[in-house]
Chains A and B, each alone.
Chain A
Amino acid sequence: MTQHISESEMNSFRSGLLPAWETIPFAEHLEICRECSVRLATLRGRAIARFSPSSFLAGKHIEYEAISDYLDDRLEVNDREFIEIHLKLCHICHDDVQSLKEFRESSVPEGVIKHSIRDDLKGIFITIGRTRILNALPAEGTLLILTSLFLFVALLIVLDLRKRSMISSEKPVTTPLHQVNAPPVTTNTATPKGANEVKLSEVIYDKRRLYGLDNKGNSQGIDYLPKEIREDVANVLRGKQINRTLVLDELAETATYLRGHTIGKGDIWLISPVGTLIVEDRPLLKWKLLKGATSYLVDIVDESLNPIAQSGNLLSPEWLVDITLKRDAVYLWQVTAYRDKERIEFEQNRIGKFKVVSVDKLNQVEIARKKYTSHLALAVFYIKVGLLDDARSEMRKLISRNPNSKLLKRIYRREMF
């Protein structure tokens, strides 16, 4: 190559985008042509240098999977040492590993980690591979170790199978179940002896706990709940209806005022709050979108039909009440729909009725929210005090966590409709 290198070629050479058949002749030319070499040096001075020597030593950053295997001591010797070299050179990865290590130590008790037999065996084989003891032993010794290992593996499998069969056996229930396979808890994290031997007709995951009904219809695993709510939760699980507050009947009686007898087409369907007590003194009122409606107007009146609040022109089917409602008082609300500024008339006019809880009740609710670490317990509490929307919300969360639970769906249908 005799011609000088152009600036654009030099840029391409530097960026690494040139193929070998151009790069190498350019490099050879640069070696003998002082002029081009100086020009490249000048060009380099204007560009951004992107590489540090340690990045060639450290290589790629460590991803979560490798960090996890490293902390679990599940890596081959070489992989482990590669990681250790990288950690010496890379502050960020070093801190990543440290952070995950601290997180594991601080938050996850050993009892909740998924330990499958496959993982255990993998760990054993890796340890054996790491020690490389087999290479140093005579053939007889190796055979003996392999035979012992085979028997040990067989024993592990048998124990695992036995454990699985015990879970589904029908032995009588004597111990609480609530911490079986449960996620971490702050107190009493040990699994009760014999807890695995209980067979539940249905298991419910609730926050960090597991409970359900056994074959005889007895509730299991709810002993952790405070006494005052435990009996009610047990009753609900057994199929009994909860005694609701009397106020609800009063709210329900006039929750919906109908001018006609049937729900007509085009009727505005009020979603919430309807026939319930509520905690918020500035509630969010919701109704179903009405086909053809371009805007809505909401009116709130008190029990004596005195106007309390009126929304502006609303484009979506909800309104966050913009004044603070008085506590321990009943309110009625109604939605008017408009199509291009023209009021839409209905055969029926729906009126929602709700009550904002008193300050005393509000305090009770706040205590309960802190105390009951269970969606079901909270739902039961809410139903008892008349906070039906909150109860519905807790039940939905529980069903969402346990989408296949027929028991929960039964409870929801029974208590919410």
Chain B
Amino acid sequence: MGKVWVLRTAEYQEECEENRKIEFSLSAEKNQRVVSDLIDIYADPIIKKVLNQRLNLYFNPQRKDRTQPEAEDLYQTIVLKLVTSIRNKNIDQASQNIEEIRNYIAKIAHNVCNDYLRMKYPERNRLKNRLRDLMKRHSGFSCWRTEDQLLCGYSSWAGGMESPKAAMIMRELEENENLADVGRTNGKELIKLELYDLVEELFDRCEGPIEIERLVHMIAGVQGVKDHQKESIDSSPFSTQRIANAPGRDHEELETRELLRHLWMEVCRLPRNQRKTFALTSGAHTGESLLHTILSEQIVTITQIYNALEISRAELMDIWDKLPLDTVTAAKQLKTSTHMVAKWRHRSLKRLAETFVIVRKQ
């Protein structure tokens, strides 16, 4: 009798597990459908529009333009970030305001563009920081947001929309490289002006607020700010962000894989809580999690991840789509406070960074 009961219990548990799998699969399939709909219906046109507006990248219908390889790369980065965010935030078309979803997609796309511009034109980004600082720290100037634009101007203009003259003046600046005819008077004088005076001059000429990106563009043009692509995180000795089949790429890839392996080894050496926190919360600036990267790059096997994180298959399945975890989710997962998560993350980072700074110096 007892044996039969045990058998029935085992059968029942198996059935429950099977039902749970089916439910999980159905819900996952639904989520996958939501993600795919979101990308096809909403994200695709918004991403293309933002990439076109911000970076002048054009997509042909098949999205395969060999003259602009970075376009496809950026498109994929935005989609990846979006998918990660959607899974984390559990966005559902039916339950969310469409306008909010659109704004959210645009925000992600703009952030990716910002990062790209920052890498490609670091000097312009520095100029933008200086301008924002000028607006923040001088009582006569101000900076404010309208819709998805960051505008600046005299304090008395705060809250206003961009002056229609701004686009015109920028065109003039672009067309007159020597600046002789810009605004018809004192074109050449602009070059001699200090940043504060130049900003004032441009505000005066535009007779109204200017979008900060446009102001950066104007001043970079006047001052002849030139960007020489510098080394960044992704072009550092650890970098692998290279065009496929470029000479030496194999060597770089091997080196990167070796460094990723080294990183994982160092992670495994961390104390238990720091190790788990770092592994679960770490992601690249593109949004991809550390665990996904090392798994897809075959640095580790899935069993090694289970073992290192002392996590079951079901537990990993539950959190996988949310990786990298935010502090709150990580705290729930690790059954601790957000304060402790922050502390463990900070300690692990400090330790690992020291190791990698040493490697980098070598």
Contacts and interface: CB of A to CB of B under 8 A. Distances in A.
Nearest to B282: A56
B349 A82 contact: yes
B255 to A, nearest CB: 10
Given A37-B298, A44-B297, A64-B129, A96 B122 contact: yes
B269 interface: no
A49 B297 contact: yes
A16 B204 contact: no
B313 A92 contact: no
Contacts, number: 241
A14 B283 CA distance: 15
A292 interface: no
Given A14-B296, A21-B24, A207-B200, A54 B313 contact: no
Contacts of B93: none
A107 B290 contact: no
B329 interface: no
B332 interface: no
B136 A68 contact: yes
B176 interface: no
Q: Which of A16, A46, A279 has the most CB of B within 10 A?
A: A16
A104 interface: yes
Interface stretch (A262-270, A309-317, A397-405): A397-405
B156 interface: yes
Of the four ranges (under 10, 10 to 19, 20 to 34, 35 or more), the interface on chain A belongs to 35 or more
B122 A53 contact: no
Given A107-B194, A183-B140, A404 B156 contact: yes
B240 A50 contact: yes
B12 interface: no
Given A20-B317, A100-B133, A402-B156, A57 B342 contact: no
A159 B229 CA distance: 51
Contacts of A402: 156
B284 A55 contact: yes
Nearest to B262: A53
B301 to A, nearest CB: 4
Given A27-B302, A61-B115, A95-B126, A55 B137 contact: no
A90 B232 contact: yes
Contacts of B353: 57, 85, 88-89
A316 B97 CA distance: 46
B38 interface: no
B259 interface: yes
Given A17-B83, A59-B285, A400 B207 contact: yes
A126 interface: no
A357 B79 CA distance: 62
A208 interface: yes
Interface string B298-334: 1001110000000001001110110000000000000
A85 B350 contact: yes
Contact of B128 (A53, A64, A403): A64
Contacts of A59: 282-283, 285
B130 A103 contact: yes
Nearest to B69: A48
B253 interface: yes
A24 B302 contact: yes
A63 B130 CA distance: 12
Residue in A56, A104, A208 whose Cβ sees the most chain B Cβ within 10 Å:
A56
A45 B242 CA distance: 12
